[in-house]
Amino acid sequence: MSAGDQPESVPAAWPRAAAGRGPFTPNLSLVVGRAPGTVVVTIDGELNLDSCQIVESLLTDLIEGQGNLAVAVDLARATIEPEAVSLFVEAARRAGLHGTKLVLKALPDDAHDPLRSVGLSELVEVLPGRGS
């Protein structure tokens, strides 16, 4: 694919950056796979305000659009800026509304408090990682 070509299979609801038509987010890689009964999203790179739009669109599609019963997010190789934690608060709300189990693996310790403060920690299963 040349630099001017557009990806062929990017959902229309994804932000312009995900479709290659907006700001480039070079420090982020997303891999979506399946484990028995669960969709697994592996995030590698920097989660900041810019890259959160891409991840939020993906999680919204997996939870609302596709109706998956369980979505797991592996953060073992991600760096999460503090302002990006709201992404997981919103994903937990969506998951709760749609009856989806949200699992976060290797969530940094400082990201637990925002989930607790809005009463969503019981909607999210947090698995250890990062040397745990």
In CATH terms, the superfamily for domain 28-127 is STAS domain (3.30.750.24)
* Distance from C-alpha of 32 to C-alpha of 43, rounded to nearest angstrom: 9
pLDDT digits 0-9 by tens, 50-89: 888 899 999 999 999 887 899 999 998 988 888 888 888 8
Give me the pLDDT at residue 39, please.
94
Summarize pLDDT for 92-115 with one digit per residue, the tens: 889 989 999 999 998 877 777 777
Q: What is the mean pLDDT of residues 7-28?
A: 50
Report the C-alpha gap between 35 and 57 in whole angstroms.
21
What residues does each domain of the chain span? 28-127
For residue 128, the model assigns a pLDDT of 80
Kindly tell me if the per-residue pLDDT of 31 is higher than 50.
yes
